[in-house]
Amino acid sequence: MASTSKADQISPSDPAAVDTGDWIQVDVRTSLDAGELLGVLNDPDVTGAWQEDDQVYLYWPAGRCGPDTWQDLKRALTQLGHPDPDHAVTINHLTNQDWNAQWSRLVEPIRIGGVVIRPSWKELPLGPGEIELIIDPKQAFGTGHHATTQLLIEWLQQLVRPDDRVLDVGTGSGILAMVALRLGAAEALGVDFDAVAVECAREYAQVNGFDGRLTLAVGHAQARQPHEMIDPTLVLANLDRQTLLASAEMLCEYAAGGARLLLSGLLVEQRAEIEAAYASRGVYVKAIRERDGWLALEATGMETCDGGLCS
C-alpha cells in the first residue's frame, strides 16, 4: 500500500479535506464488510473501496468530500453497530501517483465464467472460447472484482444477442459495455457523469482494440442526452440505490419500448424499494441474482414480461 506520512493526515472535521488535491483516502478501522458499508453510506461520490484485514479503505475525489461526508460516514458506522465511530476514521491525501501504485498492487487477474479480466502486467492463460479484457487500475474504478460487476458479467454471457444495442448507464471503466461487445452485441454506448471515468474508459477501449461500435460519452444517468445516440435493446445500470431511484423514469421508458433492463448496485434489503419504484411505472422484475449480499435484477416492461417473477 502506498504510504502516507502523519503530516499528510487530516482530521475528519478539517475543512482542508476539500482542497484541490488529487484524492482523499479514508481508512476505517472496522471488521464490517466494505460493500455493506458502501450500501448504508449510499454516497454516489465514493469512487471505490477495498478491504484488507480489519481495515476498509474508501476513496473520494478531493473536491467532492468534506465535513458533511465524514458525518454521514460516522452515522453509517453507527447504524451498522460500530462501537466507536468517532475514532475509527483517518483521512489522508493521495496524489495520483500514490493512488495508482495502491491499485496496481491490489488488482489481480480474474475469471468470471468465460470472461478473463487482467491488468497488462499479469498474464492469465485463456481457455477454449474465453474472451479477455485488459484493464489497468486508473482513476475510473471497475476492474471486475466487485460482486455487482461480476453478477452482470455472468448474466451478460447468457443474455447478449447478436443484434443487441447496449446502453451502459454509469459505465465507469466501460467494462460492461466492452464485455457485451466481446460477447457479440452489435453496438454499445457507455455513459458516465464523470469525465475522468470516460477518458479512462476510452483508453481501455483503445488498448483492447474496440472500433466504432463502442461509443463512450459524458452524461448523467437521469438525462436522455447523450442516451439518444442509441435505441437500446439491452440497458445496463450498475448504480447505487439513490441513482437507480432517480433514473427510474428514464430507464422504465426504455423498458416500455421493449428493452431489457439489468439493474445492479443494490444490497439485498434495498430490493423491495427498487421493485416498487419500477413496478409503479409498469416495469417488473423477472429474475434475480445475489452474491455477497448484493443483488442484480432483470426487469422488463409489462408487455414483454413472459413469466418468472413478473406479476
Tell me the whole-structure pTM to 2 decimals: 0.75
Whether 252 has a pLDDT exceeding 80, the answer reads yes
* Region 220-247 average pLDDT: 87
pLDDT above 90 for 197 = no
For residues 151 and 129, give the distance between their C-alpha atoms in angstroms, rounded to a whole number.
20
Residue 117, SS3 per DSSP: strand
Per-residue pLDDT tens over the stretch 15-60: 343 344 478 889 999 987 777 787 788 787 887 677 777 888 888 8
Domains present along the chain, CATH in parentheses: 6-103 (3.30.70.980), 108-304 (3.40.50.150)
Q: Mean pLDDT over all residues of the chain? A: 84
Residue 32 DSSP symbol: S
List CB contacts of 276: < 8 A, sequence separation 6 or more.
Answer: none
Dist CA 195 CA 86 (whole Å): 34
CA 266 to chain centre: 11
What letter would DSSP give residue 230?
-
pLDDT of residue 43: 83
